[in-house]
Structure 1
């Protein structure tokens, strides 16, 4: 039988309890830590339970089993937790049968313990690894049902898929459907991926379409762009289109983002495509768009996207700051240059200040110098500025800059 990747039961259960993100699809390697309420307090670091916890976290399974066995035998407040961690250590040590016996002991001795659920998850993991997975129908708890389904998918997908399809197609809680989708996403088989692709296309379960789009893009990478592009072209749902634009960013597909930025009629989606291009550092594409787009809203989005592009956007911002005829766009380019260029942008910002004829453009240059932390040039401009309003604006910025140059200039003003 072909072996497939299986998430550890305890970790898989924790992923089922939080919203599914793209990072949740990455392989997990960390061991589960104790519940927050059971991590030993600072004044309890030398207790037997704390020592057992350290043994678990350090992978000393034999030591952990012995320590927690002793704690459990004392029947104290943490005896039920100790039995679970004893079973966990036994399973890690390869003693799965003994781990199942320990879990059974937990159920008999502490029938109302919350650690029974943890042992149920461990039991599902052990049964799945042994080739005898727990049947999902026999498990009433939704999270455990998903754990059982995940295990069954690894051993006998032909039996698991109809159950997953039934959960996805029949009326039921959205959270349960999302968890079923997550189980599908952890399978690399064509049948599972086709099922996710159908949902991503909106052919079934439209309420899960956005989540399926993100999962499909994470699984297929650049191979997802052709299908997602087709969905984008035929959809009128803004949320669906936005999810696809985000998927283009994840898969590294600037060409698809350019298509959307050029052809999309919805200004919100045009802005989203432009922002994603900025996050990718696609300066050449943004430059082309800035030249081709004539509306102020799109051009403003491009100027902001150049900030997201980081230092790579500085050169283009500098060019726009010196050539743009629209005063609002020019001022935004000047201000954003201070964000992206840092102190390296100081000469351009000083030049913009000195060459600007309007007060607002000068203020934009001052904002850029302030954002970049350039007290030296601000002091120089303050000394030479004749306009009282602008001089006050410069001094106001210097008064909250914690630098020697700014402090010295404040003292210079006070001593006059």
Structure 2
């Protein structure tokens, strides 16, 4: 019988995968105070702890904030509320949220997940031959793996191949993981991207390193870099950030490190890189990592470099509250610096000269 790895230890990786792959690499939503980002993380942390009520409350708070600031992205918060309610046994309330999701966002990518949520709490119905795949769950890996690989290499429907790939990714077997990595290196772009995500959730750092070396296309390499951040392959990301000859790959590695909260390498690159674009990417990633201390330590070194100074100030707004940047405004050592800090604050909606109530 196939042994499957427990899902709960993978939940943290799955959450990080959602964050990394939900938006383009350099297109994180503007959230100067970090409140929406914090609510998202708190909601998923509660899911990981099995605190369904707290998770639903956090995602409800997130929905309210998004409706004020980014109404086009509310659908994700509605879905995760429904998920938390369903897991908490509040099926009718979950169903009502799913109906609201469909009504308000008929084209949302979350609608399919929501439908699956209502059907067996996340388990989709078997279609297009999936019943035969279900039977493989009872077979030893030595028998099941060749059959699943045969489906992947055959002419079956894409949905069937996706299901076969998922089953391989869930098997507690090195041979199955090697087959997932082979798909990740393959020419089928859709399956390859799914396989990369699965390797990320499986913390398959060695396999991802091989995939990164094998795929030639820049966009596929960027996807693998994101996956490395989820899998905890920080040394591999640091190597790319420090030594890659491709600026976009250095930037991709830096942002993946930022999402993962790995500020040490980011601070090193921000201080030492001779390439201005790479330094800026590292500074932006420090903001993503909420690395206020590192950014404040960097600020005196860039005080006389207008472009770098501006990026540090903007990243400080992302990493902390406006009070930190307000303090720099009042501590400015020149009129030029004070004007520069003021511009950043005003652009973000804060007036340093407005009396506080």
Partner residue in 1 for 2:115: none
C-alpha distance in structure 1 between counterparts of 2:183 and 2:137, whole Å: 19
Larger radius of gyration: 1
1:159: how far off?
4.7
Unaligned runs of 5+ in 1: 8-18, 30-53, 60-117, 123-140, 381-404, 407-416
Partner residue in 2 for 1:212: 195
1:332 to 297, 311, 327: 311
C-alpha distance in structure 1 between counterparts of 2:135 and 2:347, whole Å: 56
Partner residue in 2 for 1:104: none
C-alpha distance in structure 2 between counterparts of 1:334 and 1:234, whole Å: 38
- Aligned pairs (5 A) from 1:127-276: 143=127, 145-202=129-186, 208-219=191-202, 221=203, 224-276=204-256
1:250: how far off?
0.9
- Aligned pairs (5 A) from 1:4-403: 4-5=3-4, 143=127, 145-202=129-186, 208-219=191-202, 221=203, 224-310=204-290, 313-324=291-302, 325-342=304-321, 343-352=323-332, 355-357=334-336, 361-364=340-343, 366-367=345-346, 370-371=349-350, 378-379=353-354
C-alpha distance in structure 1 between counterparts of 2:2 and 2:242, whole Å: 46
C-alpha distance in structure 2 between counterparts of 1:208 and 1:226, whole Å: 19
Structure 1 stretches (4+) deviating beyond 4 angstroms?
156-159, 204-207, 368-371
Work out whether residues 261 and 274 of structure 1, in 8 Å CA contact, stay in contact via their aligned partners in 2: yes
Work out whether residues 316 and 324 of structure 2, in 8 Å CA contact, stay in contact via their aligned partners in 1: no
Work out whether residues 167 and 177 of structure 1, in 8 Å CA contact, stay in contact via their aligned partners in 2: yes
1:173: how far off?
3.1
1:289: how far off?
0.8
Q: Label 1:6 to 1:329 Cα distance change in 2 as closer, same or farther (>3 A).
A: closer
C-alpha distance in structure 2 between counterparts of 1:349 and 1:244, whole Å: 40
C-alpha distance in structure 1 between counterparts of 2:313 and 2:353, whole Å: 15
CA RMSD of aligned residues (A): 3.9
Secondary structure of 1:379's counterpart equals coil
1:211: how far off?
1.8
* Alpha-carbon displacement from aligned partner over 1:130-151 (angstroms, at most 9, x marks no partner): xxxxxxxxxxx97262243133
Work out whether residues 228 and 234 of structure 2, in 8 Å CA contact, stay in contact via their aligned partners in 1: yes
C-alpha distance in structure 1 between counterparts of 2:348 and 2:175, whole Å: 57
Work out whether residues 349 and 368 of structure 1, in 8 Å CA contact, stay in contact via their aligned partners in 2: no
Q: Label 1:229 to 1:5 Cα distance change in 2 as closer, same or farther (>3 A).
A: closer
C-alpha distance in structure 1 between counterparts of 2:90 and 2:339, whole Å: 61
Partner residue in 1 for 2:71: none
C-alpha distance in structure 1 between counterparts of 2:212 and 2:305, whole Å: 33
Q: Label 1:159 to 1:318 Cα distance change in 2 as closer, same or farther (>3 A).
A: closer
* Alpha-carbon displacement from aligned partner over 1:137-178 (angstroms, at most 9, x marks no partner): xxxx97262243133232355554343222211234333211
Q: Label 1:240 to 1:362 Cα distance change in 2 as closer, same or farther (>3 A).
A: closer
1:269: how far off?
1.9
C-alpha distance in structure 2 between counterparts of 1:305 and 1:6, whole Å: 32
C-alpha distance in structure 2 between counterparts of 1:346 and 1:369, whole Å: 12
Partner residue in 1 for 2:98: none
C-alpha distance in structure 2 between counterparts of 1:365 and 1:207, whole Å: 41
Unaligned runs of 5+ in 2: 7-17, 23-43, 51-85, 92-118
Q: Label 1:379 to 1:340 Cα distance change in 2 as closer, same or farther (>3 A).
A: same
C-alpha distance in structure 1 between counterparts of 2:335 and 2:279, whole Å: 21
1:330: how far off?
0.9
1:206: how far off?
6.0
1:364: how far off?
3.2
Secondary structure of 2:299's counterpart equals helix
Work out whether residues 229 and 256 of structure 1, in 8 Å CA contact, stay in contact via their aligned partners in 2: yes
C-alpha distance in structure 2 between counterparts of 1:152 and 1:6, whole Å: 16
